[in-house]
Amino acid sequence: MVVPLLPDSAPFSGAQRAWLNGFFAGLLNFDANGHAGGFAGAGAASAVATLAPPEVEEEEFPWHDPTLDLDERLTLAEGKPTERKLMAAMAQLDCGACGYLCQTYSEAIARGEEKDLNKCTPGGKPTARKLKELVAAGPANGAAKANGTHNGNGAVAKANGVVAPAKSTYNRTNPFPAKLLDCRPLNRPGAVKDTRHVMISLAGSGLTYEPGDALGVFPENCPELADEILAALGAAADEPLPAADGSPRRLRDALIQEYALARPSADLIELLAGCAADPVDAQQLKLLIDNDEDEWIETADVVDLLYRFPSARPPAEAFLRSLAKLQPRLYSISSSLRAHPEEVHLTVGVVRYEHGSRKRKGVASTFLADRLTGGGVLRVFIQGAHKFRLPDRGDTPVIMVGPGTGIAPFRAFLEERHAAQAPGKNWLFFGDQCQATDFLYEEELNGYQKHGLLTRLDTAFSRDQKEKIYVQNRMLHRASDLWNWLEEGAHFYVCGDAKRMASDVDRALHEVVASQGGLDAAAAKAYVANLSKTNRYQRDVY
Ligand SMILES: Cc1cc2nc3c(=O)[nH]c(=O)nc-3n(C[C@H](O)[C@H](O)[C@H](O)COP(=O)(O)OP(=O)(O)OC[C@H]3O[C@@H](n4cnc5c(N)ncnc54)[C@H](O)[C@@H]3O)c2cc1C
Ligand SMILES: NC(=O)c1ccc[n+]([C@@H]2O[C@H](COP(=O)([O-])OP(=O)(O)OC[C@H]3O[C@@H](n4cnc5c(N)ncnc54)[C@H](OP(=O)(O)O)[C@@H]3O)[C@@H](O)[C@H]2O)c1
């Protein structure tokens, strides 16, 4: 008999609990009657060796698909525990914007450890609203399971105690200070877009990655934005701030390095409402808290809020405390370590747009493109993507659909297959606005075609003619060949825009299967579902 050591409230399933109780009993040398015999030393090792971890059944999350809309995801989670419904309400990007993965954020809410329901930035208001509703409706489910959490270095720590070995001490909680090697434009002069090829050195980190993984980047805010906030607050840049660890910090540095200055947090709105000198400002701010349907606040940033409510000026320290923490951004890795030892490359679309009279900049993409210079240091970690991988066999054909920055992981796939001299056929569908300015990696791709590595390259330049032509149109043009490749066992990959492209490509895939396979809609759906189930249809969409 194993004496239970874990409290009932510990977040483990029955099987996990039994194994962990056995593990700890072995470690502490408990006898069958529950008497501790002290630290077991070698006995502990033998307990570890002889107690095989139970098979933890891999739980499926059918709603974990960013191309499904909120209602579809919630339908798939019907009848599941609260934490799974909460997960289904999130945007399913595992983007890290909330500081968790979708699964671990929802479990933290369900356990009552996380109170902020506004952290899912890509899910926006609809997600926040649904989370509120679910938390209000269901008991905070104390039995939230922690099935597996990413440790940020591609290794997955399973709750059954099995930890995949990490090769580096650097991870999300201890990011590596990496050097930027280069950040060169991929678009030609005259392009509407600004897409960059970013090269980063991993030398000295011990970090490794596989094609399909992503790089997490901790960005810094634009100093001009921090200055705008300081001016609006009437605060001094060098206002000293008390720091928990005793290290001196200046207000301006904290704004640049530590806090999210985009979407105002609920705490900030409450703080401003509480200190507004003008009763009209106070009243309107309270309305913003109560009425989460307000369209203005949906797109407002912190500066917009300060400008609109000039009588609400809290002390700098309270203001900082009300801001959300700046979170890392993920980028699909666009290089293979075999081709570029100790380097990681990214393909980054720079976010710049106008909102009202103000120019807005994406934090991380402009940090990489504008504010870091060659030799500059950025904090990074590897985010493993266990479900976006080249086939195990080098002779398996692959079909890759990656418009815009969606080409990133496919450049890595091609480099990897080139370095490994893998004999499998490779077919890429690439699209962007104009051939003359936006044919990303044109020379490399043409080189691979000449070499024979890239068996087929189909491009769709949407703005080179009156009618839009997209990658899915090219798939439909090539339906017969596409079907033949699938029937030969090809793996089908999609990367890029989750909102429209990924679902349109999915529809086109179903159409190809139905028309070429002579299948009705239900059979085509089953065929595609089977591709997914056998890991032959994989998506990395954001
Ligand atoms: C797994 C994964 C892989 C990814 N891979 C890549 C990749 O390979 N390449 C890549 O470029 N990105 C990739 N992304 C996206 C990337 O993580 C960032 O979200 C992106 O670079 C924007 O971050 P930012 O900090 O520059 O912008 P932010 O400061 O986060 O601003 C972006 C926000 O600005 C708003 N916005 C943007 N454009 C407009 C507009 N025109 N009008 C109004 N509002 C607007 C939107 O609310 C948007 O959410 C990936 C994301 C994930 C989750
Ligand atoms: N979270 C973020 O802030 C963020 C930042 C960067 C990128 N992204 C996402 O990543 C995506 C990739 O951005 P990107 O600039 O590299 O490329 P993109 O905007 O996806 O554009 C690439 C090509 O895809 C075309 N396209 C548009 N709609 C499509 C559809 N429904 N199906 C197929 N193709 C379609 C575009 O055509 P047209 O433009 O001519 O219609 C363009 O030719 C963005 O769409 C965005 O959703 C998000």
Q: What is the 3-state secondary structure (H, E, C) of 281-329?
A: HHHHHHHHHHCCCCHHHHHCCHHHHHHHCCCECCCHHHHHHHCCECCCE
pLDDT of residue 165: 40
- Mean pLDDT over residues 342-368, rounded? 97
CB of 377 within 8 A of CB of 367?
no
In the block, residue with structure tokens 């809410």: 109
Tell me if 349 CB under 6 Å of ligand 1: yes
Pocket test for ligand 1, best of 331, 410, 497 (most atoms within 8 A of CB): 331
pLDDT of residue 73: 95
Confidence band for 8, pLDDT divided at 50, 70 and 90: low
Provide φ and ψ at 116, rounded to 5°. Answer: -80, 115
Start-end of CATH 1.20.990.10 domains in the chain: 223-322
Q: Is the pLDDT of residue 23 over 60?
A: no
pLDDT of residue 34: 36
Of these ranges, 116-130, 248-262, 411-425, the one predicted with the greatest mean pLDDT is 411-425
Could you say which ligand is closest to the alpha carbon of residue 125? 1
Q: Is the pLDDT of residue 188 over 70?
A: yes
CATH topology of domain 223-322: NADPH-cytochrome p450 Reductase; Chain A, domain 3 (1.20.990)
Start-end of CATH 2.40.30.10 domains in the chain: 176-219+328-383
- Mean pLDDT over residues 471-488, rounded? 98
Start-end of CATH 3.40.50.80 domains in the chain: 398-541
pLDDT of residue 141: 44
For residue 346, give the 3-state DSSP assignment: strand
CATH number, span 176-219+328-383: 2.40.30.10
Element (H, E) at 129: helix 124-137
How far lies 285's CA from each of 115, 266, 312, in Å?
21, 10, 9
Between these two residues, 36 and 379, which has the higher pLDDT value?
379
pLDDT of residue 29: 43
Q: What angle, 0 to 180 degrees and rounded to 10, lies between the N-to-C axes of helices 408-419 and 442-451?
A: 30
- Mean pLDDT over residues 116-143, rounded? 81
Closest C-alpha to 86, from 45, 123, 39:
123
**Pocket of ligand 2 from Cβ distances under 6 Å:** 193, 349, 351, 362, 403-406, 431-433, 462-463, 468, 470-472, 496-497, 499-501, 504, 542
CB of 333 within 8 A of CB of 270?
no
Atom of ligand 2 nearest to the CA of 472: 33
CA angle 361, 359, 295 (to 5 degrees): 90
CB of 377 within 8 A of CB of 471?
no
Could you say which ligand is closest to the alpha carbon of residue 473? 2
Q: Is the pLDDT of residue 378 over 70?
A: yes
Q: Which residues contact 288 (CB under 8 A, 6 or more apart)?
A: 269, 273, 294, 297
Do strands 491-496 and 537-541 pair parallel, antiparallel, or not at all (unpaired)? Answer: parallel
pLDDT of residue 292: 65
pLDDT (tens digit per residue) in 38-64: 333 333 333 333 344 444 456 789 999
Q: Which residues contact 522 (CB under 8 A, 6 or more apart)?
A: none
Tell me if 351 CB under 6 Å of ligand 1: yes
CATH number, span 398-541: 3.40.50.80
Could you say which ligand is closest to the alpha carbon of residue 365? 1
